[in-house]
Structure 1
């Protein structure tokens, strides 16, 4: 990062809290430029990729996408030549959330916003940027991104109770997909499925012969699948590892999976790339 005034984005769906955080930061850290306020997770991703700020304050619970989902998407989409931003999560007090953040050494701000809390965060960030300015850009980019990737994989299950993302475990595993196609109900054994793809309110069920839609969430489906065989490799994809041929990286360094009898390759999120490291 160049030795210039840092730029920040605030993603918070409660307008009063967003403005309070903005005014508090402006008072305690005048050099910090607030470039944008995003009121939901989708807008946060779009604004972050447009503005490429140095810091992003992310509310954990937002409509559209949670703070964790925003961070995961940015980890995949951030331009390789740009330094990855420092993420500060904003959260209401929750015993499990605080424990998770402390354990992973993640910066966070507690609601309600106060000068004391923001000042501590500002001091940590200022020290971090001073350190980064004395290091190489490539090194600082890589360290920040790799730290986030490592932390996200551990935070998601820890924060599930707070985010309401707990799906009760299925009493028995799913063996057959029943999908409506016109006037027919197609019966598809799960072992024939190459991968499942989340598409809005539906899941695209892809086999070597066909692709059909079923109406449910990827989270609901995941709870009914055998986790030893079906791996989530991206926020939008679950793959059948028994149908996997190989994984390879493209020229940009992104990992993709080749599945048996499938022309389309499945992208692996950086958060799940560790699943395919050489033994």
Structure 2
């Protein structure tokens, strides 16, 4: 019997998704319903479901954080009211991406993909190639969003321009985002979550809910006796903390 968890911070939407799943996939057993990202992560670790339906925006850890943290141990289907997260969701290994309010026909398509993926997992000892082919055929086509090339920031009566290739890291600072290059820094009036959508996820790694760092700028990552990871950058004095949700990036240590 296939199993799943549902992570959604709105009670009505969570109940509606469960009702629709019961109609589209009667044999699916929902093991847990979670309101927060941290609860979802704990439920996946404890219950080991086959599928996780994850809202992208949740208190604490986001659905993307949870998907990265579990690192493919279950199939992730994201639900969200915001289509700008699609590219990042598939980069996190999503099998599907459902826009709210979720239409029954669209959910049925996702269930078809999930059933096929689970069938292959049970019958093929080495399914890497088959899974890749299945994704190629069934995954919704998502256009790559236009990447940010410059960041402009006002400082008094001056506008500073930062070429994206010179930026070392972004750090959330209340209503602003701190932009730091090797030689300068400034604050922009745009939240970090919006900037992330225009960054290349291969070049810029999110290591904390409020920090995105250029991968090439990382000099080393240190783990203390409690398992907490801190990143050191080339040519900068900052020590950037890595949250548990993003510790998977440094598993090789």
Cα distance, 1:44–1:170 mapped onto 2, change above 3 Å: farther
Q: 1:7 aligns with which of 3, 6, 29?
A: 3
User: How many angstroms apart in 2 are the aligned matches of 1:73 and 1:7?
Assistant: 17
Corresponding residue of 1:235 = 207
| TM-score, structure 2 as length reference | 0.54
Corresponding residue of 2:113 = 124
1:103 Cα offset (Å): 9.1
| Alpha-carbon displacement from aligned partner over 1:159-199 (angstroms, at most 9, x marks no partner) | xxxxxxxxx8423559xxxxxxxxxxxxxxxxxxx988889
| Alpha-carbon displacement from aligned partner over 1:28-60 (angstroms, at most 9, x marks no partner) | 212211011111223222322222221111123
1:139 Cα offset (Å): 4.2
User: How many angstroms apart in 1 are the aligned matches of 2:126 and 2:105?
Assistant: 31
Contact 1:72 1:271 in 2 (8 A): no
Q: 1:29 aligns with which of 15, 25, 29?
A: 25
Cα distance, 1:218–1:46 mapped onto 2, change above 3 Å: farther
1:125 Cα offset (Å): 1.1
Structure 1 residues not aligned, in runs of 5+: 148-153, 159-167, 175-193, 204-216, 249-254, 274-279
Aligned length: 207
Q: Which has the larger radius of gyration?
A: 1
Q: 2:59 aligns with which of 58, 63, 79?
A: 63
1:241 Cα offset (Å): 7.8
Structure 2 residues not aligned, in runs of 5+: 137-142, 162-167, 178-189, 223-228
| Alpha-carbon displacement from aligned partner over 1:53-97 (angstroms, at most 9, x marks no partner) | 2111112333334xxx4333442x337xxx6211111133x6x44
User: How many angstroms apart in 1 are the aligned matches of 2:37 and 2:221?
Assistant: 30
1:24 Cα offset (Å): 1.9
Corresponding residue of 2:78 = 89
Corresponding residue of 1:72 = 65
Name which of structure 1's ranges 6-15 and 37-46 shifts more when overlaid on structure 2: 37-46
User: How many angstroms apart in 1 are the aligned matches of 2:111 and 2:216?
Assistant: 48
User: How many angstroms apart in 2 are the aligned matches of 1:239 and 1:98?
Assistant: 19
User: How many angstroms apart in 2 are the aligned matches of 1:241 and 1:130?
Assistant: 37
1:10 Cα offset (Å): 0.7
2:39 aligned with 1:43, yes or no?
Answer: yes
The CA RMSD over aligned residues, in Å, is 5.6
1:13 Cα offset (Å): 1.5
